[in-house]
Chains A and B, each alone.
Chain A
Amino acid sequence: MSQKIREVSVLFLVGITSAFLLSFVYKQTAPVISKYKEESLKKSLSEVFSDPSVRFEEIKADTLWKVFKGKEYVGLIFKSEKKGYSGKIRPIVGVDSIGKIIRVKIPKEDLSETPGLGMKIAEVAFLDQFKNLIADEVFLKKDKKEGKIDAITSATISSRAATDAIRDGLKKYKEILPRYEFKEFLKTSLENLAQSSDSTLEEITPDKLWKNLNNFIYLSKIEDSSFVFHLLTQIENKRINKISIFIENPQTEKEETSEESKALKQALEKKFEGVLLKNIHKLKFTSEIQGIAEKIREEIRTTYVKHIKWREK
């Protein structure tokens, strides 16, 4: 009996001493550890957003950050997750305001892919492929023809999981991107255009000037006292074929959707449609649209002379 009591009390003592010591060490080290973690997270964040003058605001703990430059909301950083070959793959991705990847990082510490094979997804050579891509291009080349990512030899599962994780994140968070609506506007307008003329657009200056057949399409920006007007003008044979307008509220960086601005947009689009460039100065405007319409006319004339006229020859 006495032996049993002795055994039980020894086990009890060992257990309680260990528990006490462990909790003591934990209490001592926990703040230091969390501080270090915070610092290394900050480091990771600034690594995927190459501009050093930005600051980060956490939206969703350990998953989503908005990036601000001064007061301007310039992009996003997110962490996404996907099961790889032998564990979870968690890329950290920096995205600019229109949804292009700035840089991707996959921390090696919490990656458990096969060393020498799957582990290579954390290396710069693989990750650099993602720079400047948009969601639709983030596929493995062997999976989809739009894809721009070369898988790592013998590590297709890891490569695909990383690619999928990045693309899923891009799609999931695109709606909170600062210039998401504008990007969508641009994309659909250009797509419609390519479809209606049944030929692909050739980009001459990135995000600025495109060409297909005899069409020139360019993007320009005009500001008045309250709004920013983005104009996508399509010129064919010295004639304004069509002009699409996106009215943006500079405060929210969202599309202005009030009835008035919708009416204004329609009136402007209709007014310029089909006008010959040589007759553009003869256009008469009603008083409601006069101010902005004159600015647009001026814009089209100068851009045409500066960028398009010589190309037409």
Chain B
Amino acid sequence: MEGEIKRTLIDGIIKNNLILVLAIGLCPTLAVTTSAYNGLGMGLAATFVFILSNLLISSLRKIIPGNLRIPIFIIIIASFVTMIDYALKAYLPPLSTQLGVFVPLIVVNCGILGRAEGFAYKNPVHLSFMDGLGAGIGFTLVLFIMGTIREILGQGIWLNIPGIFPGIKALGSSFAESSIILLILPPGGFLTIALLMGLFNYWRKK
């Protein structure tokens, strides 16, 4: 029992890693990972939704008819995320402005649908919770690493938090002035994700 829980968590991070293995949820991944902070923010917000939507889907799995599961997942996830968005805007406006773009992006993150379909629909609630957590951690890690690579090479700084922390000049200030701008543009996203995928799969095969 306990082994199963642990295994589900680790599988969520590595074996079923959303981006590097399953390659789903790539759109927000490519879009927001221009800085480490953005990657982290998106990752954490998505983790929260992964867990809750997995819980919800898993507890409703016996009622949801098989043929109709996809539209029902979409309705549940979309209205759920929208409610969270409203609540954040109303009661935690500073956090909402910080998360700004991420929350609506989560609605269209097919990683959530992927976990609902691939795991939560077939498994009990406690395992679905662990799977959501694992998927979230895996997603966050990859986003953070991608953000780090793109921010350091593309802007010459690391961990810049707009309006709060200016960031560390990781490769010296002369590099910060002539950084590789390509890396924070869309092609840089594709390059980084391809390299990461390659490295990750190489490591797993060994």
Contacts and interface: CB of A to CB of B under 8 A. Distances in A.
Interface of A: 3, 6-7, 10-11, 14-15, 18-19, 21-22, 25-26, 28-30, 32-33, 36, 40, 108-109, 112, 114-117, 154
Interface in B71-116: 71-72, 75-76, 79, 82-83, 86-87, 89-91, 93, 97, 100-101
B38 A18 contact: no
Contact of B68 (A7, A32, A112): A7
18 contacts: A6-B65, A7-B67, A10-B63, A10-B68, A14-B72, A14-B75, A18-B79, A21-B83, A22-B79, A25-B83, A25-B86, A25-B87, A29-B86, A36-B90, A114-B34, A116-B35, A116-B151, A116-B181
Name the prevailing secondary structure of the A interface residues. Answer: helix
Contacts of B38: 115
Interface of B: 34-35, 38, 63-65, 67-68, 71-72, 75-76, 79, 82-83, 86-87, 89-91, 93, 97, 100-101, 151, 154-155, 162-163, 181, 184-185
Given A14-B72, A18-B79, A116 B184 contact: yes
A18 B75 contact: yes
B59 to A, nearest CB: 13
Q: Chain B interface secondary structure, helix, strand, loop or mixed?
A: helix
B63 A112 contact: no
A36 B68 CA distance: 40
B184 to A, nearest CB: 5
Contact of A116 (B68, B97, B155): B155
Give the 10 A-B residue pairs with the shortest CB-CB distance, closest first.
A29-B90, A32-B90, A18-B79, A115-B34, A29-B86, A116-B155, A25-B83, A7-B65, A116-B184, A22-B79
Contact of A10 (B64, B79, B93): B64
A292 B140 CA distance: 77
Given A7-B67, A18-B79, A115-B38, 8 more contacts: A14-B75, A21-B83, A108-B163, A114-B185, A116-B151, A116-B155, A116-B181, A117-B181
Nearest to A11: B68
Contact of B89 (A15, A33, A154): A33
Nearest to A155: B181
Contact of A29 (B87, B163, B184, B185): B87
A19 B83 CA distance: 11
A108 B162 CA distance: 9
Contacts of B34: 114-116
A22 to B, nearest CB: 5
B76 A18 contact: yes
B71 A154 contact: no
B72 A10 contact: yes
